[in-house]
Structure 1
């Protein structure tokens, strides 16, 4: 069996920065600037490991809906941000990924700080191209699920150079 591939740059950066003061904040800022749309939500990556990532989003005026809760699309942005961290930490460097579909269910009114967990299990062996499901759960401070869903990513082999 070949040696495992080196960890992704994202996972290496997270592991380095999580050990220093304000490291997770610095990591989160860099991650959000790499994908500028993520700057539309006040999110912070809390943990990243192969197969799972966790991020939080504080409640801010610009993520509110007309009823004063967290807007549904802000929750979806948090879900995609978290899924991206999990995918980057999990999909080997021989492959690349892109979101293909998102299905969500809004289960309760979202208010206050939100916590999102993204989990994915890569099939073994990982094929040349295939769809992989990433399970998403968003909870509030009391642990109430406010959103559940699945983001399907399309995983393909990187072209050989």
Structure 2
């Protein structure tokens, strides 16, 4: 595990009553834009993250389904936090691109499941693809995303 602040906060808060809710609010305090979808972290570990989004009026489009950009938001949030805790403290990351496929209407609350195959060592870094599946309450994949994370060594100092 990376031992970074996000990882430490997750390990400290997630087992507590309301801890996952509090952790989710703290992440949105640090990155306010994600607060618009009111995400909730359910799983966060190296190589995997799961974030839920409740279907509510604020995330709906004109036909009453979850808006495509709301789905992209939870996909990026799940991928980014998973990447953050997967890296050693010697490395950093930034999203470099996202490819998205909308497969079905998102008519229920959703879960973003981000996964990435961890290399044995990060070395000089490079492109690291993170796969994200957005699933509805029935487990049907309504959106898929591949988010390319650019990983590089932190500069000394």
Q: TM-score range by the shorter chain?
A: over 0.9
Whole-Å separation in 2 of the counterparts to 1:19 and 1:116: 20
1:160 maps to which residue? 156
What is the root-mean-square deviation of aligned Cα atoms in Å?
Answer: 1.1
* SS across alignment from 1:110: coil
* SS across alignment from 2:156: coil
* Residue 29 (str. 1) matches residue 25 (str. 2): yes
Whole-Å separation in 1 of the counterparts to 2:2 and 2:55: 36
User: Residue 69 of structure 1 is aligned with which of 65, 72, 76?
Assistant: 65
Q: Give the number of equivalent residue pairs.
A: 157
User: Residue 84 of structure 2 is aligned with which of 84, 88, 91?
Assistant: 88
* SS across alignment from 2:143: strand
Whole-Å separation in 1 of the counterparts to 2:152 and 2:37: 29
Shift of 1:123: 2.5
* SS across alignment from 1:76: helix
- Summarize deviations over 1:109-138 as a string: whole Å, max 9, x none: 001210010011232331323010001000
* Runs of at least 5 residues in structure 1 that lack an aligned partner in the other structure: none
Tell me the TM-score normalized by structure 2: 0.96
Contact 1:42 1:60 in 2 (8 A): no
User: Residue 49 of structure 1 is aligned with which of 45, 49, 52?
Assistant: 45
Whole-Å separation in 2 of the counterparts to 1:6 and 1:118: 17
Structure 1 outlier segments of 4+, above 6 Å: none
1:131 maps to which residue? 127
* Runs of at least 5 residues in structure 2 that lack an aligned partner in the other structure: none
Whole-Å separation in 1 of the counterparts to 2:113 and 2:4: 19
Tell me the TM-score normalized by structure 1: 0.94
